[in-house]
């Protein structure tokens, strides 16, 4: 059994007087658990069976945000907040547009909208891979607000969430794993980076191909109670150029599942002119970017296979975790 590559926990510090310093969304601090699925997978009272029904989205969209701290070690400002509305309170991540760092290949001030667009596409798939995410006003202006996901506990025992990434010293990944590529591990040694052969990750690989995710790192994967998997940090998505960078290359070139092909067909319908998803994306990304989404879906359906690295762009994000 390969040793797991543990996903690092996010770190929360005291709130700053002004907009938060760069931070990173991720694992929650000890003792703080937002509303979500119960450990046995049941949804709390008043929520949808998937744990994130309309009440959650309404809460983060209209609730009062209170900054509790900043989440460090990311390129953009991230605030860890509580949000309260009509007697309900949860925790969330708030990324103000004012805290976004400029990127050479994305228009300034558009990362928050892209995070919301990724959520909308995820919801259209029916897979629910992205936590509820909205665009709203907050303490430091307009920004992205996303429900906080407390990860499944992993104490190394049988009850913990199984690892999704690992480094192995063998040439082959072994049963239950898919190879990504070689990684330097120090002192001139290399190891094989692998990810789990997991249907949740495979669905996410399809979603990433659709939204053209340029930054699918290991730390963006959040196993949650009840066997759920969520993915976060979708700011660098929907570019018109091929930007796909991911750790989930294990299925590259393999046939898509029938489920994935059915989902792609539904997405194509949802993106027809005037259809609900097309109308929503028009509020968040450019017409050219929406057309590029349609084009990627057509290509995936035409080939019937998971995409392979283009060779025109680094295939693996850095740092990978």
Q: Can you spell out the DSSP letters for 145-165?
A: EEE--PPPP--SSTTSPPPSE
Three-class secondary structure of residue 94 per DSSP: strand
Band (65; pLDDT cuts 50, 70, 90): very high
**Angle at 111 (CA atoms; ends 301, 315), nearest 5 degrees:** 50
Report the C-alpha gap between 233 and 135 in whole angstroms. Answer: 14
On average, the pLDDT of the chain sits at 83
Residue of higher predicted confidence among 204 and 50:
204
Nearest CA to 195 among 163, 158, 230?
Answer: 163
Band (5; pLDDT cuts 50, 70, 90): very low
Q: What is the mean pLDDT of residues 33-54?
A: 39
Q: Enter the pTM of the model.
A: 0.83
Q: What is the mean pLDDT of residues 279-301?
A: 98
Report the C-alpha gap between 213 and 231 in whole angstroms. Answer: 11
Residue 154: per-residue pLDDT: 55
Residue 14: per-residue pLDDT: 37
Predicted confidence (pLDDT) per residue in 181-198, tens digit: 888 777 778 889 999 999
Report the C-alpha gap between 152 and 27 in whole angstroms. Answer: 9
Q: Is the pLDDT of residue 4 over 50?
A: no
Three-class secondary structure of residue 257 per DSSP: coil
Answer yes or no: are the C-beta atoms of 253 and 306 closer than 8 Å: yes
Burial class of residue 159, CB neighbours in 10 A (0-12, 13-18, 19+): exposed
Unique residue bearing structure tokens 């309404």: 58
Nearest CA to 122 among 238, 273, 32?
Answer: 238
Residue of higher predicted confidence among 276 and 312:
276
Answer yes or no: are the C-beta atoms of 232 and 149 closer than 8 Å: yes
Kindly state the percentage of the chain with pLDDT values over 70: 80
Answer yes or no: are the C-beta atoms of 230 and 164 closer than 8 Å: no
């Amino acid at each position: 059994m390969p040793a797991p590559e543990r996903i690092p926990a996010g770190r929360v510090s005291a709130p700053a007087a002004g907009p938060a310093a760069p931070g990173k969304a991720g694992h929650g601090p000890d003792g703080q658990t937002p509303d979500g699925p119960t450990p046995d997978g049941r949804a709390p009272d008043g929520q949808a069976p998937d744990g994130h029904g309309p009440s959650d989205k309404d809460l983060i969209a209209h609730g009062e945000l209170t900054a509790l701290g900043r989440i460090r070690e990311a390129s953009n400002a991230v605030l860890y907040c509580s949000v309260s509305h009509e007697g309900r309170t949860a925790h969330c991540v708030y990324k103000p547009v004012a805290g976004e760092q400029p990127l050479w290949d994305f228009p300034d001030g558009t990362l928050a909208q892209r995070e919301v667009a990724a959520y909308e596409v995820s919801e259209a798939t029916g897979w629910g891979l992205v936590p509820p995410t909205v665009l709203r006003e907050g303490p430091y202006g307009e920004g992205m607000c996303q429900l906080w996901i407390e990860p499944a506990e992993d104490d190394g025992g049988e009850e913990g969430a199984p690892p999704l990434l690992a480094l192995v010293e063998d040439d082959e990944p072994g049963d239950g794993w898919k190879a990504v590529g070689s990684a330097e591990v120090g002192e001139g040694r290399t190891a094989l980076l692998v990810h789990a052969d997991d249907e949740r990750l495979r669905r996410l690989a399809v979603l990433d191909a659709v939204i053209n995710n340029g930054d699918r790192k290991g730390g963006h994967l959040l196993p949650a109670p009840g066997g759920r998997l969520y993915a976060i940090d979708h700011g660098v998505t929907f570019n018109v150029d091929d930007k796909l960078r991911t750790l989930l290359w294990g299925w590259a070139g393999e046939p898509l599942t029938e489920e994935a092909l059915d989902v792609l067909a539904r997405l194509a319908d949802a993106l027809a002119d005037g259809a609900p998803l097309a109308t929503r994306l028009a509020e968040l990304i450019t017409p050219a970017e929406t057309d590029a989404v349609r084009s990627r879906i057509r290509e995936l359906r035409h080939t019937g296979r998971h995409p392979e690295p283009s060779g025109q762009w680094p295939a693996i994000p850095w740092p990978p975790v």
